[in-house]
Amino acid sequence: MPEPFAFTIEAVDGETGARAGRFTTPHGAVQTPAFMPVGTQATVKALDPDDLHAVRAQIILSNTYHLSLRPGAAVVTAAGGLHRFMAWDGPILTDSGGFQVFSLGARRTVDDDGVTFRSHLDGSLHRFTPESVIALEEALGADIIMPLDECVALPAADATVRDALYRTQRWLERALSAKRRDDQALFAIVQGGLSHALRREGAAFAAQCDVPGIAIGGLSVGETKAEMDATLAATTEQLPADRPRYLMGVGAPEDLWACVARGVDMFDCVLPARVARHGGLYTPEGRMSIGNARYRDLHAAFDATCGCPTCRQFSAAYLHHLYRTKELLWYRLATIHNLWFILRQMEEIRGAIPDGSFTARHAAFRARYRTADRTAAGDARAQFVASRGRR
Amino acid sequence: MPEPFAFTIEAVDGETGARAGRFTTPHGAVQTPAFMPVGTQATVKALDPDDLHAVRAQIILSNTYHLSLRPGAAVVTAAGGLHRFMAWDGPILTDSGGFQVFSLGARRTVDDDGVTFRSHLDGSLHRFTPESVIALEEALGADIIMPLDECVALPAADATVRDALYRTQRWLERALSAKRRDDQALFAIVQGGLSHALRREGAAFAAQCDVPGIAIGGLSVGETKAEMDATLAATTEQLPADRPRYLMGVGAPEDLWACVARGVDMFDCVLPARVARHGGLYTPEGRMSIGNARYRDLHAAFDATCGCPTCRQFSAAYLHHLYRTKELLWYRLATIHNLWFILRQMEEIRGAIPDGSFTARHAAFRARYRTADRTAAGDARAQFVASRGRR
């Protein structure tokens, strides 16, 4: 792994294989397992960098597809790169935009060389190739960058899944050849749908590539939680232990625990912000709806045990009022609360691995936390894929 | 003036009569002339109390009409009052809601005893009387409270203006009789449209009432800036020197300077937030549109001389991007910038009165600042009255 990147495993849970480690980037180290708040358009929705520090975010994610359309990679380069543009001095990962482009459905056509698509904003015609995406990501300047991949919505025919896997592999090789900057870590992405055989093949391929980290894509896109778990297990079993594993687009609190148990080290998901937008706030008992009438007269913290900047300063009754009146302040306060909750879960997970309490704490979490969805975190993502939305 | 309220004039500009003073409330003193950011629904849109402290807001305004509908005065009382409900420990003024109710047009009917109206939210029927409004404001617990008044949209027939003036006067007497709490200052409101005779009469009436402050209502509702200025001058000439004068719903930067020159001490206006919502940012040269293409590549502070938290941390190019992508962060950063600008104008005004430089600085401001509107600050408010909107 080229300097300054380094990944060290500090502890492995004997029962599950859950790993606690540390991934070093040019903008600082990330304690893993880590959750990355999503700042699609160079802003984690409603938050500023001080808010991100306040919730103790270690690393954030942004998106090449969105940034290439607005403001354009050249603007970000002229700003001195994405870190300076958005005034965030910690590590950043840029997704390639493969997921977004393939979510465009009829608005895109894929060929072996790349993908042609129409912008969701104005219908203008664009083309991504493995090489052009690397050029965009080098212009943006994130610490970790992702190659263009082909992401398939599930369920899908076997041949479609296989073609996408192999195309993703060929595109990774081209991305590696195109890459010029030494201060960015290009991860591989493993596709393969729900086929354990294809996932194992994809994992083995990624393992023999010269990449400092390996992402698992194409999950949480409409399959059940059981399907996701089995497929994930088949994948991570084949991955080398010495590189970080990033499960893309996951997840809900229950998924974070379950997937760490499968050996995942990094996550990203828009769920904390989306849940907030719809009035949802996380608690150790599950997701609650602040719009519920019982909060109207609760003149105390929404969650007295929480400790987040929102719960420290404001009452549940005030949050209920802000949500019901659709005040802008709601979105910020709720996103702070939900990210705080998720990031504190990750801290508990990290702490539990070295001290051998991971399985017991995972069981305690499951006994207490009522999950909102029966399907994978992908409920919302699957709808999104179907609706050609934008994460 | 009952304890703890006190108003002391510290300096008067010899040329104009502009006054620098200090109004003391149970939640602290306010240096005048003062601008009050508007928090209609118990939140200054997009900002939290730390943001208000960061822009050095001294006092904020909220609204009885809106709060009585949502969350309801009883909820605020149960929270321990408006200060605790919204976690703002500085002074608060609540407007009575007269302006909002009369803006409802056909949805309200006025009689001598009060006004019956349908909520803009759900059409439910409500009634305000001078006494019920005082009860609501005592339940909310602001430091300064306003009586129910009748506000007339201009232009209006003489008889309509006269009737509204006299009704407002009778309602003030009833409000004074109904008032029970000693820790709230009930101001008078002078109406009278553009009639100098009625304004003088209204001012003389307010002067002989036992009130610790006098508001000037019914301006900035569709008249020209020249009409507003002349009417304001006719009013303030008749007001006692020893009590603060609050011009309701004003204003734009140029109006603040001009109205302080007429002896006004307090202002409120939604303009800084509304301007922000539409991409406008104040500068010493006038209001600029951040959506303008020239900001796309300006990788420096929007205004290098500004010093506000937004300009200190973010570039114009980033603000341009946030505005173009309609990101939530834009509204907060822009409101912070605009309130900072307005509040620093007020600080410059306050400083200029004791040192005799007010007229020179006012001239310098006018020479540099290009005004956006030819009519009174009321441009937007007049549209609002016409459209039965909500400030």
- Rounded to two decimals, the ipTM of the complex is 0.96
The reported pLDDT for the residue numbered A295 is 98
Contacts of A87 in chain B (CB under 8 A): 313-314, 318
| Facing residue for A75 by CB, picked from B47, B87, B296 | B296
The reported pLDDT for the residue numbered B1 is 77
The reported pLDDT for the residue numbered A366 is 97
A32, A135, A266 from A2: Cα distances, Å: 19, 20, 20
- Put simply, the answer to whether B325 touches A79 (Cβ < 8 Å) is no
Is residue B193 domain-shared with residue B301, that is, in the same domain?
Answer: no
Is residue A238 domain-shared with residue A253, that is, in the same domain?
Answer: yes
- Put simply, the answer to whether B332 touches A331 (Cβ < 8 Å) is no
Q: Which amino acid is residue A122, in one-letter code?
A: D
Whether residue A13 lies in the annotated active site: no
Q: How far apart are CA B282 and CA B365, in angstroms?
A: 13
Higher pLDDT, A381 or B3: B3
Is A168 a domain residue?
A: yes
The reported pLDDT for the residue numbered A383 is 53
DSSP A169: H
The reported pLDDT for the residue numbered B337 is 98
Residue A388 near residue A117 (C-beta atoms within 8 A): no
Contacts of B297 in chain A (CB under 8 A): 75, 78
Selected residues 65-94 of chain A with any CB under 8 Å from a CB in chain B: 70-71, 75, 78-80, 85-87
CA distance B119 to chain A (A): 14
| Facing residue for A325 by CB, picked from B41, B49, B79 | B41
Q: Beta-carbon neighbour count of residue A390 at 10 Å? A: 17
Is residue B132 domain-shared with residue B169, that is, in the same domain?
Answer: yes
The reported pLDDT for the residue numbered B382 is 53
The reported pLDDT for the residue numbered B154 is 85
**With 50 as the cut, is the pLDDT of residue B389 above it?**
no
Q: Does A277 contact B at CB distance below 8 Å? A: no
Q: Token digits for A371?
A: 């999950």
Is B280 a domain residue?
A: yes
A5, A245, B169 from B333: Cα distances, Å: 34, 36, 42
Is B285 a domain residue?
A: yes
Strand order across the beta sheet in which B245-247 lies: B34-36, B266-268, B245-247, B214-216, B188-190
Is residue A298 domain-shared with residue A336, that is, in the same domain?
Answer: yes
The reported pLDDT for the residue numbered B3 is 82
CATH value at residue A49? 3.20.20.105
Is residue A319 domain-shared with residue A254, that is, in the same domain?
Answer: no
Q: Does B293 contact A at CB distance below 8 Å? A: no
Q: How far apart are CA A8 and CA A24, in angstroms?
A: 9
The reported pLDDT for the residue numbered A153 is 85
Is residue B80 domain-shared with residue B40, that is, in the same domain?
Answer: yes
Q: Token digits for B93?
A: 């003024």
Is residue B241 domain-shared with residue B313, that is, in the same domain?
Answer: no
Residue B171 near residue B128 (C-beta atoms within 8 A): no
Give pTM, 2 decimals.
Answer: 0.95
| Nearest alpha-carbon partner for A314 in A328, A292, A294, A334 | A334
Q: Which of A13, A51, A95, A255 is catalytic?
A: A95
Is residue A183 domain-shared with residue A228, that is, in the same domain?
Answer: yes
Is B43 a domain residue?
A: yes
Contacts of B317 in chain A (CB under 8 A): 71, 75, 78-79, 85
Whole-number mean pLDDT of chain B? 94
Best residue in B40, B47, B48 for a mutation probing chain A (most A CBs within 10 Å)? B48
Is residue A132 domain-shared with residue A246, that is, in the same domain?
Answer: yes
Query: What residues does A286 pair with on adjacent strands?
Result: A283, A370
| Facing residue for A315 by CB, picked from B79, B320, B333 | B79
Is B2 a domain residue?
A: no
**With 50 as the cut, is the pLDDT of residue B387 above it?**
no
Best residue in B321, B324, B326, B337 for a mutation probing chain A (most A CBs within 10 Å)? B321
Q: For residues B328, B334, B340 and B343, what is the CA-based torsion angle, rounded to 10 degrees?
A: -100
Is A22 a domain residue?
A: no
Residue A48 near residue B334 (C-beta atoms within 8 A): no
**With 60 as the cut, is the pLDDT of residue B108 above it?**
yes
Is residue A183 domain-shared with residue A95, that is, in the same domain?
Answer: yes
Q: Token digits for A219?
A: 């999950």
Q: In terms of residue numbers, what domain contains A311?
A: 275-368
Q: Beta-carbon neighbour count of residue A8 at 10 Å? A: 12
| Nearest alpha-carbon partner for B269 in B257, B285, B252, B245 | B252
A45, A270, A289, A385, B172 from A381: Cα distances, Å: 17, 9, 20, 6, 58
Total count of domains within chain A: 2
Is residue B204 domain-shared with residue B280, that is, in the same domain?
Answer: no
Contacts of A78 in chain B (CB under 8 A): 297, 299, 317
Is A14 a domain residue?
A: no
Q: How far apart are CA A122 and CA A119, in angstroms?
A: 6
Total CB pairs under 8 A between chain A and B: 102
Contacts of A65 in chain B (CB under 8 A): none
Is A25 a domain residue?
A: no
Q: Which amino acid is residue B372, in one-letter code?
A: A
Residue A340 near residue A308 (C-beta atoms within 8 A): yes
Residue-wise pLDDT for B12-33, tens only, equals: 999 999 999 999 999 999 999 9
Residue-wise pLDDT for B258-286, tens only, equals: 999 999 999 999 999 999 999 999 999 99
Residue A71 near residue B320 (C-beta atoms within 8 A): yes
Residue-wise pLDDT for B136-158, tens only, equals: 999 999 999 999 999 988 889 99
Q: For residues A205, A211, A213 and A216, what is the CA-based torsion angle, rounded to 10 degrees?
A: -30
Q: How far apart are CA A379 and CA A230, in angstroms?
A: 17
Closest chain A residue by Cα to residue B297: A75
Rounded percentage of chain B residues whose pLDDT exceeds 90: 91
The reported pLDDT for the residue numbered A315 is 98
Whether residue A268 lies in the annotated active site: yes
The bridge status of strand A144-145 relative to strand A185-186 is parallel
Bond preceding residue A251 cis, omega within 30 of 0: yes
Question: Which residues of chain A register pLDDT less than 70?
Answer: 373-391
Is residue A166 domain-shared with residue A294, that is, in the same domain?
Answer: no
Dmax over CA atoms of chain A, in Å, equals 61
